[in-house]
């Protein structure tokens, strides 16, 4: 039986790599939406990560008539009342030129976060990454899962691995920033890794039922 193709609704190579690594034990082929279609990104109208993931999965599944896996994830900083939250990827949109490359946006986001926390004591710099994923087919949502990753916001960036806020996200249990962790280690403890592993468990059951004719 040929692998079931799942279209990942992102052009972010970091997300594609992380999700593909977690799903590699299943009979699925993970491809990026950019490989099969040139579609405008949908507007994110949800007020939660879960709503945005669901909306994106449905949008791309409807447009491609394939199974599409979408995620919405971001950083919640306690001292900032949960910001940047669902605006994590566009936190610095007021200072970055439209169309700026991902590295430029990441640097601007990190700089804005550090400025916002400049006077916040170390003990109050607690934060977490949150990830919600949703798999949809042409007829609607099939599977949803989520995960969290606890840490604190450091005062200076460290490490060259990962992307986004990883250089500032210090993980006390590891004694290192997320961007200093090897990919395998990060995937084992990260919000996305946890969400996708839970999704993988649910997907394995779904594929088994589909193969046996229960779906």
CB neighbourhood size of 185 (10 A): 16
Give me the helix-helix angle, 191-211 and 13-23, nearest 10°: 50
User: How far apart are the C-alpha atoms of 128 and 77, rounded to whole Å?
Assistant: 7
The count of C-alpha atoms lying within 13 angstroms of the C-alpha of 52, restricted to the half-sphere facing its C-beta, is 23
Residue positions annotated with a catalytic role:
72
Strands, sheet with 126-137, edge to edge from the N-terminal-most edge strand: 28-32, 4-8, 68-77, 126-137, 140-153, 169-171, 176-177
Region of 114 please: left (phi>0), alpha (psi -120 to 50) or beta: alpha
């Amino acid at each position: 039986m040929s692998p079931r193709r799942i279209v990942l609704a992102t052009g972010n190579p970091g997300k594609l790599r992380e999700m593909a690594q977690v799903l590699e034990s299943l009979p699925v082929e993970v491809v990026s939406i950019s490989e099969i279609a040139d579609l405008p990104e949908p507007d994110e109208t949800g007020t939660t990560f879960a709503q945005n993931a669901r909306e994106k999965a449905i949008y791309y599944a409807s447009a491609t008539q394939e199974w599409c896996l979408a995620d919405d994830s971001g950083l919640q900083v306690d001292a900032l009342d949960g910001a940047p939250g669902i605006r994590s990827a566009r936190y610095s949109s007021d200072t970055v030129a439209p169309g700026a490359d991902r590295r430029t946006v990441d640097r601007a986001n990190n700089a804005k976060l550090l400025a916002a926390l400049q006077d916040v004591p170390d003990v109050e710099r607690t934060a977490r990454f949150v990830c919600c994923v949703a798999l949809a087919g042409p007829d609607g949502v099939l599977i949803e899962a989520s995960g969290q990753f606890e840490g604190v916001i450091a005062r200076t960036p460290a490490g060259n691995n990962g992307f986004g806020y990883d250089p500032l996200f210090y993980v006390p249990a590891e004694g290192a920033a997320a961007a200093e962790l090897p990919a395998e280690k990060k995937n084992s403890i990260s919000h996305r890794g946890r969400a996708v592993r839970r999704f993988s468990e649910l997907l394995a059951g779904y594929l088994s039922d589909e193969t046996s004719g229960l779906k």
